[in-house]
Chains A and B, each alone.
Chain A
């Protein structure tokens, strides 16, 4: 699986958009980008995933660059409950049962 690079920590004001970057310059053609988050000491929670097109769901938007070497997770209106560690992961197709390797992630602090 390709390696990812994320900033260690970020701050965001409550109500503003949180933009979390991820670099995955060695991603291969059939690898997807997945985002998970971990709130405090709970188990990680799935947020979104994508291959090459931008994706949006009720939680977030995922913007993948045209060369697929980087992506950005966008939380459009961050709330205090979005304070968590966000993991960007690159792995095989969703139905292939590939391992998901979690790196250090980005610790997002949403401030009032």
Chain B
């Protein structure tokens, strides 16, 4: 049982380049989330999805786009990367039928924008 898997785990981009982070979960969870964490800070929600084909903005959505074409996958895209987007990105998923409603997190994707 892999849980939540993020790819890639590390990436270095130049300003203006684009890239996509992939999050895959094998727990049939309805909800998926993308967070970013800057050094010494807490996690901030970028976008989230309540089901296949639906997405919504979180606290810090600017500069990012997301898609959830399949229930198990949640993609985070950067169309034109900026140094301010240097961060660690965490994906999480949550199943509605779990008593605790706990979030399951991936291991993180470390992105550096030069």
Q: Which A positions have Cβ atoms within 8 angstroms of B?
A: 36, 41-46, 49, 85, 87, 93-97, 99-105
Contacts and interface: CB of A to CB of B under 8 A. Distances in A.
Given A46-B102, A85-B42, A101-B59, 9 more contacts: A94-B102, A95-B96, A95-B97, A97-B96, A97-B101, A100-B45, A102-B35, A102-B42, A103-B42
Q: Which of A87, A101, A102 has most B Cβ within 10 Å?
A: A102
Nearest to B101: A94
Interface of B: 4, 30-31, 33, 35, 41-45, 48, 50, 58-59, 88, 90, 92, 94, 96-108
B70 to A, nearest CB: 18
A51 to B, nearest CB: 12
Contacts of A101: 45, 59
Contacts of A41: 88, 108
B99 A94 contact: yes
B112 to A, nearest CB: 14
Nearest to A100: B103
Given A44-B103, A95-B97, A99-B58, A104 B45 contact: no
A102 B43 contact: yes
Contact of B105 (A45, A94, A105): A45
6 nearest CB pairs, A to B: A94-B101, A43-B105, A46-B102, A102-B43, A102-B42, A97-B31
26 contacts: A36-B103, A42-B107, A43-B4, A43-B90, A43-B106, A44-B43, A44-B90, A44-B92, A44-B105, A45-B105, A46-B100, A46-B104, A94-B98, A95-B97, A95-B98, A95-B101, A96-B101, A97-B30, A97-B94, A97-B96, A99-B45, A102-B35, A102-B42, A103-B42, A104-B41, A104-B42
Nearest to B110: A41
B42 to A, nearest CB: 4
